[in-house]
Structure 1
Amino acid sequence: MDIYDLVNDVDSKEKLVEFLFYLHKDFKENQEGWENITLADYLESMEAWLNDCDGVFQNKGEELPKDISWNFLGSRNRFFFIINVL
């Protein structure tokens, strides 16, 4: 499964779960090709991308979706961190 093709098909919770399954599988099998290996790397990259996402979308001729639940994204990331620490 090509994760780059799969991400374009994500339009439901089930498809997101499937995408994350294959993303995790790719990480385990091809870790040397990944830039963000640690949680610190991931968080730094996520912060940088979010700071620049308006420009990223603009450069692609797209508009940032208006219906993003920033609270949901933030609280889920915090939840995953707490679960892993406890």
Structure 2
Amino acid sequence: MAERWRDIATAPHDPTRRILVRGGTWVRGNQEVVPQAFSSLVTWDGEWVVCDNLGPRSIIRDPAEWAPLPEARHVG
């Protein structure tokens, strides 16, 4: 998979689109704050919201880079 990481300033602020981000700070429920050590799947909702559907809302603050999701490959 050829990832094309780009500066976060160029990321699409489209709530219907999911992207990968890396760098920054991971915040879960405004309580647990840790450096983001891995890329995360996020969507835009006024801030970068982690797409995990588990527990309290998680966000990534100040990510450094983003990448589009790779296209799905159909096997058949």
TM-score (ref. length: structure 1): 0.20
Which structure has more RCO (C-alpha within 8 Å, separation ≥ 6)? 2
Q: Larger helix proportion, structure 1 or 2?
A: 1
